[in-house]
Amino acid sequence: MMRLPKLAVSSPETIEEATGLLAELGDRAVVLSGGTDLIPNLKRHQLTVDTVVLLGRIDDLRGIRADGESIHIGARTTLREIVDSELVPPVVARAAGQVASPTIQNQGTIGGNLCVDTRCFWLNVTDLWRQAAEPCLKADGDTCWVAPAKQHCWAVSSSDLAPVLVALDASITLVGSGGTRTIPLADLYVDDGIAYLTKASEEIITSVAIPIDPGLDTTYHKLRRRGSVDFPILGVAAAIRRGDAGVCTEARIILGAVASAPLRAPEAEEALVGQPLGPDSIAAAAEAARKLARPLYNTDLTSRYRKRMVPVFVKRALEELAAG
């Protein structure tokens, strides 16, 4: 049985108290929301901290509300609350409902989902197993065992909600000791398996805002080995706006789980804009996404298979939108 290391636990009641603690403790502390990602990672000794700062008692971080322009979701809102909400866009509820399993959705939160650690099968193993080889780059070693020639960590972005919310042009509000700022969600991510978030470690996501945009047609398709529990090994989020005669005026195609950040596919989007959403434009977009995506052999199923699935899943997503 894997055990948690010895940790101090703080349970602040306000956002200010939490950010104060995080600023004071620096890299020694980490935020725990639902704990469904963090606790297994702590048990596997993937990170070394001596304190966890629980967000569970901060009521201001919960709830879903609409203000006419956007839907605001508190960072501590659970995935299950999102699945059951009538306020959130259906594509968000659908993606939340595909995370892990119902039990984990009851516990896991949107803030944790957006910050979920990048994954790699050289890393997500027990300490003992990791010690059998030289530790990988993300485990403070010198080599990335996925692509040893490069000093870069390729661990995979594994959030289901991130590609969907980037496609919806969502923004997040962050609070730290330096104050409050709101940024596009896309700007939270960096294509680097180690430093995969731009936020300071002492900053807390307090809420997510999704623009209310009834003209945008959206969908999300996820590839995983089993129909439940498994992380995505490919996710395709598509958002399309159509004008007169069904011509596409705006497109966002975001690929999940093929890089260390949600990957925007601009050439796939260009293949759609100015065209009706039909077989030719869909085939061109699917091919452009295939060329862009370079999944590596670092998560479930082979990289070759995952690459071959990229155009298949882009096509499926766009055909669903074309069928209306």
Ligand X SMILES: Cc1cc2nc3c(=O)[nH]c(=O)nc-3n(C[C@H](O)[C@H](O)[C@H](O)COP(=O)(O)OP(=O)(O)OC[C@H]3O[C@@H](n4cnc5c(N)ncnc54)[C@H](O)[C@@H]3O)c2cc1C
Task: Give the interface with ligand X as residue ranges (CB under 6 A).
Answer: 30-38, 40, 55, 75, 79, 99-100, 104, 107-109, 111-113, 115-117, 158-160, 204-205, 229-232
Beta carbon of residue 106, minimum distance to ligand X (angstroms, whole number): 10
Q: Which is nearer to ligand X, 38 or 120 (CB)?
A: 38
Beta carbon of residue 89, minimum distance to ligand X (angstroms, whole number): 17
Q: Which is nearer to ligand X, 74 or 311 (CB)?
A: 74
Beta carbons of 75 and 82 less than 8 angstroms apart: no
Residue with smallest beta-carbon separation from ligand X: 112
Burial of 243 from C-beta contacts in 10 A (0-12 / 13-18 / 19+) = exposed
Q: Which is nearer to ligand X, 226 or 244 (CB)?
A: 226
Output the furthest CA–CA distance in the chain (Å, rounded): 63
- Strand runs labelled E in the chain: 8-10, 29-32, 51-54, 64-66, 70-74, 171-176, 179-184, 204-211, 216-223, 234-242, 248-256, 263-264
Q: Which is nearer to ligand X, 75 or 321 (CB)?
A: 75
Beta carbon of residue 76, minimum distance to ligand X (angstroms, whole number): 7
Q: 8-10 and 51-54 as β-strands: parallel, antiparallel, unpaired?
A: parallel
Q: Which is nearer to ligand X, 20 or 276 (CB)?
A: 20
Beta carbon of residue 280, minimum distance to ligand X (angstroms, whole number): 33
Q: Which is nearer to ligand X, 60 or 213 (CB)?
A: 60
Q: Which of these, 214, 312, 314, lies nearest to 254 by C-alpha position?
A: 314
Beta carbon of residue 137, minimum distance to ligand X (angstroms, whole number): 18
Extract the tokens encoding 157. Answer: 């972005």
- For residue 103, CA distances in Å to 221, 296, 306 come to 21, 30, 27
Which residues have a Cβ under 8 Å from the Cβ of 51 and sit 6 or more positions away?
7, 8, 9, 10, 21, 25, 28, 29, 30
Beta carbon of residue 281, minimum distance to ligand X (angstroms, whole number): 30
